Structure 1
Amino acid sequence: MKLMENQVAIVTGSGRGVGRALAEMLGEHGAKVVISDLDHGPAEEAVQAVKDKGGDAIAVIGDITAPDFSRRIVKETIDAFGKLDILVNNAGYTWDNLIHKMSDEQFQKMLDVHLVVPFRLIREAAPYMRDAGKREIEEGITRHRKIVNVSSVAGVMGNVGQANYASAKAGLIGLTKTVAKEWASFHVNCNAVAFGVIDTRLTQSKENGETVAGVAVGIPDKVKQMFAQAIPQKRSGTAQEAAEGIFFLASPYSNYINGQVLNISGGFYM
């Protein structure tokens, strides 16, 4: 059974990792997916992967923190597919430092990518999600639309070296609950996932030298080992496992779930 037949989804940060896994799942279930990524190559590969799974897709390339990006991606979505049913705010990265060493730029960059961008995208989506739902209710139609925001356990319990990231992810939970209260009556479900340690390029060995937006990302091997011991399941999660949680909240199975935070952490936070 295809759960997302002919639904249209925007998934930010979907050229790789969790976003890519989710985009492929949505495509397999019949969705039309708008792939958003900073880099052209991974985005086009994701588009083809969605099509190979039986869905349809386009790519919108660019820096999601650019002032005009949210408007552009929503416009290109409507131009291509005519509607918007699912919005997943997944894109982001980390830029860690201890509080007494953290610059204003480091703090603001994390707020921008993890909190300001989701706010802008939700606001831009309002005519196609909130207002569309309002019109349908007046016509006696019930059709649910879904917003899923990707937060982190850092946003609910804090984390050393991540005052910027934790603050942004905590704010995203507040945004999620507020949207749920404002838009639930229009059949828009807004929920969040809070990830623990998930295997992506953001959590790979820092010794690999991977960068995002010019910032070194990853976790030192010794710290990863410490995290693994603190997780009741004794391992980090896979991108597929993380995507499955988002998929559930984007699916019809979550039609009576609103304003909630689904922790996907192997029991690290409960």
Structure 2
Amino acid sequence: MIDGISSNGTATGSFTPVAFAGTTRMRIVMKYYSNPLACGNIADGEVEDYSVVSGTVVPPDPVTLATPGNIGNAGVYATGFYASWNTVSNATGYEVQLNNSTAGWTTFGTSATYYLWIPKQGAQTVYQFRVRAKNATEFSDWSAPLTINLQNGSAGAHQVDFTKSFTMYPNPASDVVNFNLLNLNLSTIKITIYDSTGAIIDVLENATSYPVHRLRKGVYIVVATDGSFTEHKKLLVK
């Protein structure tokens, strides 16, 4: 019990809990002008509950990888859907979580590529998923969640769209241009930037963006290739 507080500020204290294993609930009750009880009505005060986990706390790995972008689907069907995303540099795998009203965000599975098949769960038709990139020692922030409705999908057999494409945005650009790679492995893509005379300005590997503010204003040609796929795009720097 901490009492005698007569102004705004931080209250600190310590206590020794009863021994427990796993997870338990800790309740903090603040009441104006009198000592609070664990249960009951409080006219002026506040109650907060916290989950406390016993054991040694292991700090998480640092968030050092880029967050997967272009969260979408590679096919929605009556039997499930393909969650999809853009691959990121230095990632060796991707963790996919589903959100439900009972357990919240829970890990559904992992993938070493840019998609994961998520089959229909019972009678559920609406799903929300998110993705993060991982390797042996690092991970990214979670992507923004995306909602999928199987009722908007096809009733046919599921399949994946393997069409490859390379796009840039914004275009025109004045500060930074971003590269969007669909169904392309970032680690094998080489991006070459040429000026209007055909001279090479820069060659990029493992790049998802490029600063253009140091370039002269004008038109540039950007070529992305992985050996078997090549695409040319015009970039206007203003």
TM exceeding 0.5: no
Higher helix fraction (1 or 2)? 1
Higher strand fraction (1 or 2)? 2
Q: Answer with 1 or 2: which has the greater Rg.
A: 2
Q: Which has the higher contact order (CA 8 A, sep 6+)?
A: 1
TM-score (ref. length: structure 1): 0.20
TM-score (ref. length: structure 2): 0.22
